Structures are given as structure tokens and as C-alpha cells.
Amino acid sequence: MSNFSFIAETDWRCACCNKNLQASKVNVEYMGSVFNVELMVCPDCGFVLIPEDLALGKMLQVEQLLEDK
């Protein structure tokens, strides 16, 4: 399992709970690989914010590497 941190200060709040997002470790799974990632999460409902630059950058690169295996 890998550990990565992608936390960033943000004013974003959970749309459901109206709580400030907090840094938290979450497991991201793709094609049988599990990555322990620190992201911004709602402390009440567990909503995870994946910033667009992360989704279209590093996560896309990892996705392509795993699919090429």
C-alpha cells in the first residue's frame, strides 16, 4: 500500500452537511491496487474532495500505468 498526501487548505464545505472539510486518510482502490491517500474529507458524511488537478493529473497517470500492466 502506498502513502500520498494531497491536502490543501480550502474554504469548501460539504454540500450535504455544511461542515468544513478536514484532512483525512482514505483508501483509493483501482484495478486491485490500493493507495492510502490523504485528502480533504467531510467529518460527518465522509464525502471526499478530489481536486480536478489531481484527478486529471497524478491520478490519470497512475490509472494509465496500471492499465498498461
Rounded Cα distance between 49 and 39, Å, is 7
- pLDDT tops 90 at residue 61: no
> Which cell numbers in the block locate residue 10?
480550502
**Cβ contact 12:45 at 8 Å:** no
Model pTM?
0.69
User: What CATH topology corresponds to 2-68?
Assistant: Ubiquitin-like (UB roll) (3.10.20)
Rounded Cα distance between 58 and 22, Å, is 21
The string of pLDDT tens digits covering residues 27-37 is: 988 778 788 88
The string of pLDDT tens digits covering residues 6-17 is: 566 778 899 999
Q: Would you state the pLDDT for residue 1?
A: 44
